Structure 1
């Protein structure tokens, strides 16, 4: 909970085991503040809270983070609320250090049980630089950035970033983020960006120039994201051998869409969860706010994790999506779903399942995929809390398929049956390595057992690195 210092001698943080009644086998600790002896249940009243070191930070940002201290009833309450306030101040991301000093109240209005709390903070510099690498969708990315934290004194961040990936993708962005309300997870974001990305499996290159505005509204373990984005897109062929379907879609398009995302995440962690669940549902409507791209898209992801014997974990994931163009338009390759690869249905090459023309994968308007995993610790290094915690082994079964379903025709049920029956399936085993707290590396041996003639199978050893896995 942080370190709290009193005048003399410094008190230690109370733990729940310290706050036990006499006679329970533990002696209640005492805390000394200015030659007074304070027990955990000694009545106390916080009279004043000081924050030293503020320069460009506004008072209305930090006051809500510490005002709960004024509701303290006893010394234990003061210690706990001081530590909680310290964590909230650190979570603002605008201070390099936060210290706390507890003292008896002073002045003519001081009461015998009065306390003064002082927070000593040091603000970050006005301009910060960064260089880091990230991983996702089986590619690595180098990012160079500059950040102006606490621009207007209320924890706003202005970020400029340039990135280049191992798959000939690059882009830059300018983003403004601002928390609003007392909850720091409530965020307002405005961003302008440009990106270029090559899709070798489909023989086209996509260039995006756009902007988006997003509100994130948390609610306990759930959150809602409301987003508008406007993107000018240009698709072009990567080579002369591109299929006619890809060539016919080359050109410019303007997409303006509204998107709502609901997420409820109760997992204990994202990379190697041992319990909890994830539910994510996204709705996107394009065309009602302008642009020549018109569709409604829905996709979801559900994951359940349960711990078993010997620190093993069983995990089940289900993903699906459906999009429907409207007002006489057709879907574009830049908006369709793709499936396959080491982060998706294993045992197949990246984005290499589904409709194909002249060697180019075109994606589809509907997909369904599922994964079942049994995670276990390393068999020869079962000790927890050490280097072995970075590794897991797993047995897995993946299945999935994608196809086009025309809901406007009487034969849509036949399309659905084709989607259900032409399922690709793979099983295998592998070893996993945690990369920090946001990504993981997989080395798997895959055995595809069901595939279609158009698919590109990659049986045997397969490498995968990314953030989200099926």
Structure 2
């Protein structure tokens, strides 16, 4: 009798540390019967007679049947191993198992066929309750994040998650329930209950959101889609007594016009840089990266527009904000555009872009060691934002966005420590500064740290 014991069946062919044995060693040769069976397994079609799952506790077997059923359609030993590997990945994707191992063996018993195989998945379930703790520092703010997770609550890959974040500027917590459709993990439903508080000193504004939401995710062709309903009660207040009259007026108007009806259309593409959009209604991102050995050239363009319906004025908390190390370097954090007495009011339309070149340090000091964590950084940033209460039609809006463009250029050094921290020290030259814009004299610094 021969056995294949695998923790991972990728890559093929069947040899190496992960598979345990070479296909030529699947059958021990001492007996004539085993030699005959080896010839059948290697050179002829096989039949998967049984697929077993060992190690189950609270997980329901009917859920796993969808994930492993394809193994029964295998016609050869190689095909069995490939399909078993795919099934293993599908089981791990459910997020309910810490480990999954695969055992392929010849069938035994009275009903065993000469070319029959049994496939066994040995699973290790994750704990009923897991927790996490981490701290984050970034943009002159520190926060502590606590999380609790109850995976596989009812035995069918459901997940209940609670997260609490306490920071120097904002505090939030949320409760989330995730339920996938058996056999179609990409089709799932998420229910959320949350409270978020935040401070926006550039606008002398503080905000507290309490809300519930339901989110349905589903694939359609090669794309994935999300349908979401959300109801939010938003409270706005002044962060300081010195808040401008324009901000106080916005807060008063917001309470009067608070409603639960509206429309949202959003198109997203992954981007490395984003403008600050507290509750933006539409935005898009385009990123182009070119890597040549250790040199990286990156270009990005993003923007958005907020169009209030029924002639109602937009809320200050929904508008776009621009400026700072995550958008247009050399300008103060979100300190571009309309302002009143030093409080920035945001805009209803914006665009921003950047061109970045990262290269190794000149003369490569510390090459092969600590010096490889540093890169020189050359950049060119540009952007603009405005309101939509002027001119006639979209042509006037586009013309306004093309006027008085803020831009900056400079160079610096970047220190990157994996996905944990990124530190930039740049020499910036802000250009196109308009009246009311706040800019930083030459130097800007970014620090983003997450400690788990």
Looking at structure 2, the residues matched to 40 and 388 of structure 1 have their Cα atoms a distance apart, in angstroms, of: 52
- The separation in 2 between residues aligned to 1:73 and 1:307, in whole angstroms, is 43
In 2, Cα distance between the equivalents of 1:428 and 1:328?
Answer: 42
Q: 1:263 to 1:413 in 2, by over 3 A?
A: closer
Q: Which has the larger radius of gyration?
A: 2
Residue 156 of structure 2 contacts residue 182 of structure 2 at CA under 8 Å; is this kept in 1? no
Report the Cα distance in structure 2 between the residues aligned to 1:62 and 1:136, rounded to whole angstroms.
42
Quick check: 1:64 aligned with 2:61?
no
Report the secondary structure of 1:346's partner residue.
coil
| Aligned equivalents of 1:59, 1:257: Cα separation in 2 | 43
CA deviation vs aligned residue, 1:234-257 (integer Å, no higher than 9, x gap) = 111112211111101225334455
> Which residue in the other structure is 1:231 paired with?
232
1:405 corresponds to: 388
Structure 1 residues 397-436: aligned runs within 5 Å: 397-406=380-389, 410=392, 413-434=395-416, 436=418
TM-score (norm 2): 0.84
Q: Structure 1 pair 358/262, CA: closer, same or farther in 2 (3 Å)? A: closer
Q: Does 1:32 align with 2:26?
A: yes
Segments of 5+ residues of structure 2 without an aligned counterpart are: 16-21, 29-33
Cα deviation, 1:207-240, whole Å, max 9, x if unaligned, reads: 1111111122245764222221111111111122
Matched residues in 1 for 2:282 and 2:61: separation?
43
Aligned to 1:442: 424
Residues 227 and 259, structure 1, Cα contact 8 Å, conserved in 2: no
Distance 2:249 2:236 in 1: 10
Which moves more between the two structures, 231-240 or 54-63? Answer: 54-63
TM-score, structure 1 normalization: 0.81
**2:122 corresponds to 1:120:** yes
Higher share in strand: 1
What do the CA deviations read for 1:115-167 (whole angstroms, capped 9, x no partner)? Answer: 1011111222222222123467664432112111111111111111110224x
Aligned length: 426
Matched, 1:102 2:107: no
CA contact (8 A) 1:233 1:254 kept: no
- The root-mean-square deviation of aligned C-alpha atoms, in Å, is 3.3
Q: 2:379 is matched with which residue: 370, 384, 396?
A: 396
> Which 5+ residue runs of structure 1 have no aligned equivalent?
1-5, 20-27, 272-277, 285-295
Deviation of 1:464 (Å): 2.3
Q: CA deviation at 1:33?
A: 4.6
Distance in structure 2 (CA, Å) of the matches to 1:411 and 1:264:
28
Contact preservation (8 Å) 2:379, 2:410: yes
The answer to whether the 8 Å contact 1:134/1:141 transfers is: yes
Q: What is the distance in 1 between the residues matched to 2:75 and 2:374? A: 46
SS at 1:62 equivalent: helix
Question: What's the secondary structure of 1:453's corresponding residue?
Answer: coil
Change (3 A) 1:238 1:327: same
Q: Which residue number in structure 2 is paired with residue 297 of structure 1? A: 281
- Contact residue 5 and residue 103 of structure 2 kept, 8 A: no
CA distance in 1, matches of 2:443, 2:187: 43
